[in-house]
Every structure is written in structure tokens, then in C-alpha cells.
């Protein structure tokens, strides 16, 4: 005969604070985390995009291949942004007790606004339409990746023992 003893877990005060935290706090936490994760990733992604672009197109791409060069430069940056938002969304899904995937998506969009705003302060955009396109792309990618991360990070319900 197998005896099963109940497991008693003490909840710490930090767990109580995290569960009592409002959803808006989790959005801000996730946006800050996504941006912090993305900073080192974007450095590597920028270098990788330059290497790939130079390898496939040469040092000076022809004007007809400028779109391809831009895609090869931007793709690693967008992928690194998606990975950072996915990780931050997983944090919201795992620890934000009252949060939803919508909250994680808002955090991804907020991260896109933060990153684009800082880029605009550094004179990265030559025209307002370019800035709007970058914000729209990053907001869509960030919101989708963060929502997916929140879904993947949500704790699974324990399996019921069969009697």
C-alpha cells in the first residue's frame, strides 16, 4: 500500500506582493524587461545583418538590390526583437496572476514605442513615414511575440490523478 503525504508549501510575502500587483505594473515590467533583453541582442543582430548583407551582396550593393540589402540588415534585428518580447511575455504569463495575453501584447507594443522613440531621438529616421513604418512593424511583431510568450509561459494545470 502506497501512502501519499500532502505537501505543504508556504507562500512567501513576495508571492503575495506579485499576485496583488495590478496588471498595469506587469505591462511596464514586461516592456522594461523586453527592452533590456533586446539591447545586447540588437548589437549582435546588427553585426550579423551587416555580415550577411556583405557576404551575399558585396560591400557596395547595386541600387537595384538595395531592397534586398535592407531586408538582410533588418531581418536579424526584427527577429531579435521578437525573441526579447517572447521572453518578456513568458514572464507576464508565468508570474502575473491576473494578467492576460492582451497585457503581454500591450507590453510588446509599448516596447516598440520605447525603442522607436529612442531611435528617433538619435536621428535614426530620415522621414516621418519611415518612423511610422518601423513603429508599426515592431509593434505588430512585439505584440504577437509577447502574446505568444504569455501563452507559453502560463503555468499548466496539474494533472488529476486517476483513481
pTM score, whole prediction: 0.81
Tell me whether residue 2 is in a domain.
no
Q: Which residue range forms the structural domain that includes residue 60?
A: 24-153
Residues of the chain with pLDDT under 50: none
Tell me whether residue 61 is in a domain.
yes
What pLDDT sits at residue 78?
A: 96
Residue 147 phi, psi (nearest 5): -65, -40
Tell me whether residue 4 is in a domain.
no
CB atoms within 10 A of CB 43: 11
- What is the per-residue pLDDT across 90-125, written as a single tens digit (0 to 9) for each? 998 888 888 889 999 999 999 999 999 999 999 988
Please tell me the distance from the alpha carbon of residue 26 to that of residue 102, in angstroms, as a whole number: 11
Instruction: Give the closest residue to 34 by CA, choosing from 82, 71, 93.
Output: 82
Q: Residue 88 in contact with residue 108, Cβ under 8 Å? A: yes
Say how many domains are in the chain.
Answer: 1
Tell me whether residue 109 is in a domain.
yes
Tell me whether residue 19 is in a domain.
no
Residue 49 cell numbers, joined: 545583418
Amino acid at each position: 500500500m502506497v501512502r501519499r503525504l500532502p505537501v505543504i508549501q508556504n507562500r512567501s510575502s513576495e508571492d503575495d506582493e506579485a499576485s496583488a500587483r495590478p496588471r498595469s505594473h506587469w505591462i511596464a515590467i514586461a516592456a522594461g524587461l523586453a527592452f533590456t533583453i533586446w539591447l545586447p541582442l540588437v548589437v549582435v543582430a546588427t553585426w550579423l545583418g551587416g555580415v550577411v548583407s556583405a557576404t551575399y551582396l558585396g560591400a557596395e550593393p547595386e541600387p537595384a538590390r538595395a531592397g534586398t540589402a535592407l531586408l538582410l540588415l533588418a531581418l536579424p534585428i526584427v527577429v531579435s526583437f521578437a525573441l526579447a518580447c517572447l521572453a518578456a511575455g513568458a514572464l507576464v504569463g508565468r508570474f502575473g496572476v491576473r494578467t492576460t495575453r492582451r497585457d503581454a501584447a500591450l507590453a510588446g507594443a509599448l516596447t516598440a514605442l520605447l525603442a522607436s522613440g529612442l531611435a528617433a531621438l538619435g536621428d535614426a529616421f530620415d522621414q516621418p513615414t519611415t518612423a511610422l513604418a518601423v513603429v508599426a512593424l515592431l509593434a505588430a511583431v512585439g505584440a504577437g511575440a509577447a502574446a505568444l510568450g504569455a501563452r507559453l509561459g502560463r503555468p499548466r494545470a496539474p494533472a488529476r490523478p486517476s483513481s
